[in-house]
Amino acid sequence: MKVALGQFAAANEWRRNAETATAIMAKAKNAKCDLLVLPEGILARDITDPDIVLKAAQPLDGPFMTEMLRASEGSQMTTMFCIHVPIEGETRVHNVLVALRDGKIIAAYRKLHLYDAFAALESTHVMPGTAIPDLVEVAGFKVGLMTCYDVRFPELARHHAVAGADVLALPAAWVRGPGKEHHWETLVTARALENTCYVIAVGECGPRNIGASMIVDPLGVVTHRAGEDPTLIFADIERERLTHARSALPVLANRQFAQPQLA
């Protein structure tokens, strides 16, 4: 499976982000990618406005998604990213990881774990989801969906792995801070190694977030890594590496605990 990691800094206006995202999609399609992962929260970003997620939120049939769906038409490439979506009758929104293919939404995962940590309080404006997403099949690989802060909780990744995931896709907007880049690399690597899965982790860059997108293979090797600037990385996910890792390190077969479930 050929994958692309599209790291960029979201602007404060959805049209500019739609232009950036669809341009990345075009490059990934031209490179014959099967999967493109973009960051979390790409509708709008403004570090001077703590209410931006409410002001910028759009429904899944809104103008931003209309542009993204149009850009995906006629292609079997799957594109994944996160946007904030209003909830009818509520003052908060959902943080939704969507997967697009050939002009259709094929999956929508509402973020379970909200970033109420390091003096941040995502739950002020965002309501957590209540369901574990199904795996998404891409080019013969099964992909589990996770979003940013989810990576700090091993249960979701393990649930996906036990359900048959080969790959974990992780759009993120990892906030800068002391030790935070170390946390990011450690956690992404741990989720890959303990589950013998590939992890495709794509972070937003810019003044608030670290970027640092990466791919970690099923034996915990960081095979591709971005810095702090916008970039587009191409990589191949190899079935042979996955098979070798699970033969050499059969942690999924050796585990003594049942599949994690939501509380």
Active site residues: 40, 111, 148
Alpha helices in 37-124 (DSSP H): 52-56, 63-72
**What is the token pair recorded at 152?**
């700090």
Q: In terms of DSSP bridges, do strands 136-138 and 104-110 run parallel, antiparallel, or are they unpaired?
A: unpaired
- Its sign, for the CA torsion 191, 228, 97, 149, is positive
If one counts every other C-beta atom within 10 angstroms of the C-beta of residue 236, the result is 12
- The 3-state secondary structure of 10-48 reads CCCCHHHHHHHHHHHHHHHHHCCCCEEECCCCCCCCCCC
**What is the token pair recorded at 46?**
């403004």
Per the CB < 8 A criterion, the answer to whether 237 and 192 are in contact is no
How far is it, in rounded angstroms, from Cα 6 to Cα 222?
17
Residue 46 burial (10 A CB sphere; 0-12, 13-18, 19+)? middle
Kindly report the backbone phi and psi dihedral angles of residue 175, in degrees, each rounded to the nearest multiple of 5, phi listed first.
-75, 140
Per the CB < 8 A criterion, the answer to whether 246 and 196 are in contact is yes
Q: At 5, which amino acid appears?
A: L
Query: Interior CA angle at 53 toward 233 and 80, to 5°?
Result: 30
